[in-house]
Amino acid sequence: MEAATVESHAPELGWPALTSDSYPEPCQMTGVAVAKDGSILVLNHGENPVEPQKPFKHEIIQKPGVLVIDAKSGKLVRSWGENLFMRPHQISVDAEGLVWIADSGLKKVFKFDALGKPLLEVGGNDVSFNLPTDVAVLSDGTFIVADGATNKRGVKFSPEGKVLGDWGLKGPGPIILHTPHSLAVDDADRVYVADREKHWVQVLNADGEIQATWKKVGAPLSIRYHQGSLYVLSNLSGKRGIVRRFNTEGDLQESFHTRGLGRIQDYEWPHGLAVSDGGNSIYVGFILTARRVQRYRRVKQS
């Protein structure tokens, strides 16, 4: 699963063109998703940036947590989610166009309609999340939450938010979760768990039974399924990441670096990932100092 030698995508410089009274300065873009109407949803830390060697802020973010960007122009068209989040981690959109957000600071998971209306909130003492990181929805409406670096588990819920069971453990065993950082589900309801600290992707069935383990994927930060392929964003160093595309068997198809050779722009700490247009357009959200979302476009190979 080593990286391909030819870069499949290159950054589209000048995209996006964020202009808004709410965000006169860039903020940390922790997650990216593609809405059902094709617009780009960007989850952000607002005025609560995560900074190395500093404690997390335990305050509600007052600014909008979700930025809605026109995919064609790159311009901010609207935003929503004021006074809702503390340390939002990942955002995803299910087959019905509903928006899911995992907030590791609040230790909760939220579901919204396409316009940002709250529909479901899961968390609290009945679940006892600790640093939840991502959500993936199966075809029957059940959903799975990756419950982070402390609980080291996946939790499965009914469509209404009732706990159906959990799986995973630290140490020897068929499912070894250290930091389940992101989730994806394919058309056959296979669940792909990107474990940042184990440097692998584990493939499970809908009941949490191990099917396969993909190793040598770096430190995977985000995994997304799109039209038959799994896209994995991994960190190589603080200033450079890589996006790899695999088929569902784990065979590498293509890859590109988030910071191309010779580029001097700040690409520090990629974190969020979204894919559209048959894989021709890939979006990466950056945190720490880069604080933006970057679109990468497929490069025509000669």
Question: Which domains are delineated in the chain?
Answer: 9-298 (2.120.10.30)
Comparing CA positions, the residue from 177, 196, 193 lying closest to residue 185 is 193
Q: What is the pLDDT of residue 56?
A: 83
User: CA 151 to CA 101: how far, in whole Å?
Assistant: 18
Q: What is the pLDDT of residue 3?
A: 45
Q: Is pLDDT above 60 for 165?
A: yes
Q: How far apart are the first and last CA of the chain?
A: 24
Q: Is pLDDT above 90 for 14?
A: no
User: CA 142 to CA 259: how far, in whole Å?
Assistant: 37
User: CA 95 to CA 32: how far, in whole Å?
Assistant: 16
* 3-state SS, residue 151: helix
Q: What is the mean pLDDT of residues 285-296?
A: 88
The predicted-structure confidence for 198-242, as pLDDT tens digits, reads as follows 999 999 999 888 999 999 898 999 999 999 999 999 987 766 799
pTM, full prediction = 0.93
Q: What is the pLDDT of residue 1?
A: 47
